Amino acid sequence: MRVGVEVGGTFTDLVVIRDGVVEIAKVPSTPHQPDIGALNAIDAANLDLTLISDLVHGSTVATNAVLERKGGRVGMFVTTGTRDLFGLQRQDRTAIYDLHYRKPRPVVMREDICEVAERLAPDGSVVQALDEATLSLAVESFLKSGPFDAVAICLLHSYANPQHERAVAEIVKQYAPDLPVTCSCDVSPEFREYERASTTALAAYVQPVISGYLDRFVVQLQENGFDGRLSIMQSNGGRMPASGMARNAIAALFSGPAAGVVGAVGAAAQSGVANIITLDMGGTSTDVALIADGQPQLAPQTLIDGLPVRTPVIDIATVGAGGGSIAWVDDGGLLRVGPQSAGATPGPACYGRGGTAPTVTDAHLIRGTLQPKSFLGGSMEVDRDAAVAAFQVLANSLNLSIEAAADSAIRIAESNIVRAIQQVSTEQGLDPRDFVLVPFGGAGPLHAVRIAEDLDIETILVPVNAGVLSAAGLLMADYVHYRSRTERTLLNESAVASVQSILSELAKEAAAYLDEVGVSGTRRFEYIVEMRYVGQAFELSVPLEVTPEQLTFAHLFEAFRAAHHRIFEFSKPPEKPAEVVSYRVGARAEVGSFAFDSGNAVEPDAMQAPLRTIDIEEGGATIVCKIIPRQAIGTKAMGGTILVEDGTSTLYVPEGWQVRRDNPGNLLIEREG
């Protein structure tokens, strides 16, 4: 029996494959102790822990530890003269007209940072050697100023020479053998000290929290007889055995959105679709990602609460447009939606938990595209009158009817999502029309068709159980580990041999890591080189389509030139030199396929389904809309206007579009005619 458990902000979702049959469960999350929610989900699904062979877990524990500043107390070592690097950051502001600007709050306090007398040059040569005797005394007294839960080390130019960081780590271990130590040369061996130090500090900061959480979770599982394999989702879209994750917690920082993307890629693959744009709409925000050839792109850097993190993360754009996003009118008379959100508490006005602000969910209830009975498959009570009351004020100030105000709020939320999709497509030089839109999460399928219309996307694919796709994604995730290295190399014919050998070495290291954490099976490798023109400061990720042995100068240069042209609308004449700055290799061990049972091998007769019709208010018109359960959608296309409900999410198929089920059980929505 294989089980995926995904802890989200509001709900904890579970997907289980038992004797080839797929079942799902959804329970409220328990934010203060997420493991309780996870165990509740296992209970709710009536699972016998002794029978689970493979348990994959995703959670927001690491993310929340940072957002709520509840990580461990970190003692940090830096080069003399750089102790204030978290106070200075990059000296800039993210809001240029904000006089009361505050910088993002660091996770390590200034008094917990100790300067080390040492210095390297940019090429890694030693300018000032470490004096181990002096250092030893300094470390001993600094550690006494704790107690610390973890230690981070970030010395200038350590990406070029790790020896000084290693030496400091050794001395720390002599005095505090049990303290976890994180070196910047391991976490992010790349130049720019603030970004590297921030990554290192965050890694050290979340480590004790994740280790503690996983230890507790494992004990509870084992007490109930679990002796299968526990693995944890990473931000890069792969999984890791829990034992490996306890050493590399920062890799889990963005695991939630990554699991959804993996689920979408897997579901689309079953329908033979490899080029997709994912649309994951939740309560407070929407995540979108573009996947070409079934291969999610990784971004080298992202931010958490304003703090930079340089560790490979699936390249996802997030926009503050979710079901709980609040609609408002600014003082220039413009209707806005988000980024403020009513969140899970108090939540949309219709939830009756004290929320009074008009939200996107309230708008759907007014418009009719969400029905009171469609919330959690009918198990949750909602109050339409409260939604109407919330929109009344907004409607008055816009001089619109309540229905028109609600419809406008939905359109604005959708346009915000359209812009996020443009960020991952047109801004990267890719045409969204070449992709299939794959919506999921509770609210994604409700908005997908209108969003597709704005982008001229022709096809939408809604996976089975779209509302719990992230949990399914956990089960589809391969074991993945990435290794990277910074080594600037001017690109010419004679450099190719060195590029080849670095890539091969990284591949060996990544594979060896998988061996070490006990992952067997065949390995597949991805090779990525980060390149730029000489003189530029930012690199483009160029994925290689050949193995290192097959690599040639012409291939590398052309791949880079094409990527540069695609993104920046120009490339330089061929005589202008390019350089490789860093290398990244991923090793992947597959876990075998996974498919939702579509649950209806027999062709349903839609006419047999209990037919309900309702009126919905869209675009100033009242439209008659059928409500059809998902099981009743067959392989023969049905034209809108339809709401398709599956108990985890609602799909809106407006007029001009039609929906049908394909063989693997996904729903395909296409333009009519």
Partner 1 sequence: MTRSVTGLSDVDHAIINRALVAATHEMGTKLIRSAHSPIVREAQDCSAAIVNRHGEVIAQSDLIAIQLGSIAQTLAPCMELFPPDTLKDGDFFINNDPYNGGQHIPDIFLFSPVFFEGELIGFSASVVHHIDLGGGAPGMNPDAGDVHQEGLIFPPTKYNMQHDWNGGPLERFIAANVRMPDATIGDLNAQFAANAIGAKRLSALAAKYSANALDEAMSEMLNYTERRIRVALSDLPNGLYCAEATIDDDGIGTDPVVIRTQIEIGDERIDIRFDGTDDQVPTFMNNPFASTVASAVACVKSVLTDPDIPFNDGVARVIKVDAPLGSILNPRPPAPVRARLLPSNRVFNAVMKALAQIAPGDVIAEGFDTTTSICLSHLGEAGYNIYLEILGGGYGAGINNDGCDGVDCPLSNCANIPIEALEMDYPFARIEAYRLRPGSGGDGKHRGGLGLERSYRILTDGVQFATYSDRFRTSADGLFGGGPGASAEFVIARGDEEIRLRSKTRVVLQPEDLLIIRTGGGGGYGAPAERS
- Minimum distance, C-beta of residue 102 to partner 1, in the bound complex (Å): 6
Closest C-alpha among 249, 435, 416, 215 to residue 327: 416
Select the span of 191-199, 249-257, 270-278, 489-497 touching partner 1 (CB under 8 A): 191-199
The sign of the dihedral angle between the CA atoms of 540, 543, 545, 551 is positive
Rg of the chain over all Cα atoms, to the nearest angstrom: 26
Closer residue to partner 1, CB minimum distance, 411 or 561: 411
Write out the H or E segment, with its range, that includes residue 523: strand 523-533
Q: Which of 28, 48, 50, 84 binds partner 1 (CB under 8 A)?
A: 84
- Minimum distance, C-beta of residue 416 to partner 1, in the bound complex (Å): 7
- Minimum distance, C-beta of residue 24 to partner 1, in the bound complex (Å): 36
What is d(CA 296, CA 316) in angstroms, rounded to the nearest whole number? 9
Tokens at residue 346, please? 């108090």
Helices in 176-308 by DSSP H: which ranges?
184-187, 193-223, 242-245, 255-270
Q: Which of residues 415-474 bind partner 1 (CB under 8 A)?
A: 415-416, 418-419, 422-423, 426-427
- Minimum distance, C-beta of residue 533 to partner 1, in the bound complex (Å): 8
User: Is residue 569 near partner 1 by the rule CB under 8 A?
Assistant: yes
Beta strands in 108-204 (DSSP E): 113-116, 119-120, 126-128, 150-154, 181-183
Select the span of 59-67, 137-145, 185-193, 381-389 touching partner 1 (CB under 8 A): 185-193
Closer residue to partner 1, CB minimum distance, 399 or 608: 399
Q: Is 127 exposed, middle or buried (0-12, 13-18, 19+ CB in 10 A)?
A: exposed
Closer residue to partner 1, CB minimum distance, 422 or 600: 422
Closest C-alpha among 445, 436, 447, 437 to residue 414: 447
Question: Are 627 and 368 in contact, with CB atoms under 8 Å apart?
Answer: no
- Minimum distance, C-beta of residue 669 to partner 1, in the bound complex (Å): 22
What is d(CA 607, CA 617) in angstroms, rounded to the nearest whole number? 25
Closest C-alpha among 456, 235, 444, 463 to residue 321: 444
User: Is residue 536 near partner 1 by the rule CB under 8 A?
Assistant: yes
Closer residue to partner 1, CB minimum distance, 419 or 555: 419
- Minimum distance, C-beta of residue 236 to partner 1, in the bound complex (Å): 22
The binding track of 319-358 with respect to partner 1, each residue x by CB under 8 A or -, is -----------xxxxxxx----------------------
- Minimum distance, C-beta of residue 156 to partner 1, in the bound complex (Å): 6
DSSP, collapsed to helix, strand or coil, labels residue 463 as coil
User: Is residue 117 near partner 1 by the rule CB under 8 A?
Assistant: no
Q: Which of 19, 20, 32, 96 binds partner 1 (CB under 8 A)?
A: 96
CB burial readout 534-546, b (16+ within 10 A) else e:
eeeeebbbbbbee
Closer residue to partner 1, CB minimum distance, 233 or 580: 580
Closer residue to partner 1, CB minimum distance, 257 or 432: 432
- Minimum distance, C-beta of residue 196 to partner 1, in the bound complex (Å): 8
User: Is residue 82 near partner 1 by the rule CB under 8 A?
Assistant: yes
User: Is residue 485 near partner 1 by the rule CB under 8 A?
Assistant: no
Size of the site for partner 1 (CB under 8 A): 63
Select the span of 234-242, 295-303, 529-537, 630-638 touching partner 1 (CB under 8 A): 529-537
DSSP, collapsed to helix, strand or coil, labels residue 182 as strand
User: Is residue 51 near partner 1 by the rule CB under 8 A?
Assistant: no
- Minimum distance, C-beta of residue 465 to partner 1, in the bound complex (Å): 32
- Minimum distance, C-beta of residue 334 to partner 1, in the bound complex (Å): 6
Q: Which residues sit opposite 298 in a β-bridge?
A: 314
Tell me how many degrees the CA angle 645-646-647 measures, rounded to the nearest 5. Answer: 100
Closer residue to partner 1, CB minimum distance, 81 or 354: 81
Closer residue to partner 1, CB minimum distance, 50 or 568: 568
Q: Which of 20, 21, 32, 102 binds partner 1 (CB under 8 A)?
A: 102
Q: Which residues sit opposite 57 in a β-bridge?
A: 5, 232
Select the span of 31-39, 466-474, 568-576, 650-658 touching partner 1 (CB under 8 A): 568-576
User: Is residue 621 near partner 1 by the rule CB under 8 A?
Assistant: no
Question: Are 502 and 510 in contact, with CB atoms under 8 Å apart?
Answer: no
Report which DSSP code applies to 589: E
User: Is residue 530 near partner 1 by the rule CB under 8 A?
Assistant: no
Q: Which of 398, 430, 495, 609 binds partner 1 (CB under 8 A)?
A: 398
User: Is residue 533 near partner 1 by the rule CB under 8 A?
Assistant: yes
User: Is residue 575 near partner 1 by the rule CB under 8 A?
Assistant: no
User: Is residue 20 near partner 1 by the rule CB under 8 A?
Assistant: no
* φ, ψ for residue 578, nearest 5 deg: -115, 160
Closer residue to partner 1, CB minimum distance, 184 or 470: 184
- Minimum distance, C-beta of residue 192 to partner 1, in the bound complex (Å): 5
Q: Which residues sit opposite 133 in a β-bridge?
A: none
Closer residue to partner 1, CB minimum distance, 59 or 198: 198
- Minimum distance, C-beta of residue 536 to partner 1, in the bound complex (Å): 6
- Minimum distance, C-beta of residue 582 to partner 1, in the bound complex (Å): 14
Select the span of 88-96, 310-318, 340-348, 389-397 touching partner 1 (CB under 8 A): 88-96
Q: Is 644 exposed, middle or buried (0-12, 13-18, 19+ CB in 10 A)?
A: buried
CA separation, residue 668 to residues 20, 169, 272, 289, 672 (Å): 24, 55, 12, 19, 12
User: Is residue 193 near partner 1 by the rule CB under 8 A?
Assistant: yes
What is d(CA 589, CA 515) in angstroms, rounded to the nearest whole number? 10
Q: Which of 93, 353, 566, 671 binds partner 1 (CB under 8 A)?
A: 93
Beta strands in 260-346 (DSSP E): 276-281, 286-292, 295-296, 298-299, 302-304, 307-309, 313-314, 317-319, 325-329, 335-341
Residue written as token pair 């007294």: 141
Select the span of 76-84, 275-283, 473-481, 549-557 touching partner 1 (CB under 8 A): 76-84
- Minimum distance, C-beta of residue 521 to partner 1, in the bound complex (Å): 38
What does 4-33 look like in DSSP terms, one character per residue? EEEE-SSEEEEEEEETTEEEEEEEE--TTS
Residue written as token pair 């979108």: 288
Closer residue to partner 1, CB minimum distance, 166 or 419: 419
Q: Which of 177, 178, 293, 537 binds partner 1 (CB under 8 A)?
A: 537
What is d(CA 373, CA 380) in angstroms, rounded to the nearest whole number? 8
Distinct helix (H) and strand (E) counts, the chain: 16, 35
Residues 6+ apart with CB under 8 A from 641: 616, 623, 624, 625, 626, 653, 654, 655
Residues that bind partner 1 (CB under 8 A): 80-85, 87-88, 90-93, 95-103, 119, 121-122, 127, 156-157, 159, 191-195, 330-336, 398, 408, 411-412, 415-416, 418-419, 422-423, 426-427, 533, 535-538, 564, 567-570, 572
